[in-house]
Amino acid sequence: MKINKMLTMAALLAMTAGTAFAQGTPTPPAGGGMAAGGGMAACRDDMQKFCADKTGPDRRTCMEANKDKLSDACKSARAARAAGQ
């Protein structure tokens, strides 16, 4: 009888462990980064057009340097991100 209780408890623990791990996985924020998609998906084409050879801080600098040339959708997404939305 004691073994049955232990096996039942072990089975319950094993079933709940997967749920606990799944809950610990963060989801990306809605705003996302430029490369992540999210709210900055509107800038993907502009990044390819103007800053394809750049990464990280260099890409941000490049996008800022070309801000007047960006599409209206990308400009709006950048403004929303700057406003903390």
Q: How far is CA 45 from CA 37, 48, 84, 85, in A?
A: 11, 5, 22, 21
pLDDT score, position 77: 92
* pLDDT for residue 28: 46
Confidence at residue 69, expressed as pLDDT on a 0 to 100 scale: 96
What's the full length of the chain, in residues?
A: 85
pLDDT at 10: 64
Tens of pLDDT, residue by residue over 47-83, are 999 999 999 999 999 999 999 999 999 999 999 988 8
